[in-house]
Amino acid sequence: MNQSCKFDDELIFSQIFYVNRITINQKYRNMGLGPLMIEYIKYRFADVTNAVVLQSSAFEVKDKNAISLYERHGFENYRENTWIYHEY
């Protein structure tokens, strides 16, 4: 477990919502769609899930903008390409 992430492997969630990847078409980037999608996912499924797990691509792991986006929206790095959002 990543020590900087409060998520615990032993913690059991009743339901987890998995997002395999978020991709924005190149011509629509830098228009605020990434943050909008992340916030929509978080709040759309808040009443049916305890956690959102975002699986990023290998490219995103090195993309400082993607990492910053996830962190700004409350996701914590759990493993190299796995980000978790959980309301405590």
- Say if 14 falls within a structural domain: no
Q: How many domains does the chain have?
A: 1
Q: Is residue 3 included in any domain, yes or no?
A: no
Q: With respect to residue 13, please indicate whether it lies within any of the assigned structural domains.
A: no
The answer to whether position 61 is within a domain reads yes
At 61 the pLDDT is 61
Given this model, what pLDDT does residue 35 score?
92
State yes or no: pLDDT of 5 exceeds 70: no
User: Is 66 a domain residue?
Assistant: yes
Contact (CB, 8 A) for 81 and 57: yes
In a domain, 17, yes or no: no
Q: Is residue 51 part of a domain?
A: yes
**36: amino acid identity, one letter:** L
Contacts of 48 (CB under 8 A, 6+ apart): 15, 17
- Please name the amino acid found at residue 23: T
Determine, yes or no, domain membership for 79. Answer: yes
Angle (CA) 73-78-81 rounded to 5° is: 85
CB atoms within 10 A of CB 74: 15
Domain that holds residue 49: 28-86
- Tell me the pLDDT tens digit for each residue of 31-86: 999 899 999 988 888 777 778 888 877 556 677 888 888 899 998 888 878 888 88
pLDDT of residue 9: 46
pLDDT attached to residue 11: 47
Q: Which two tokens stand for residue 33?
A: 């769609």
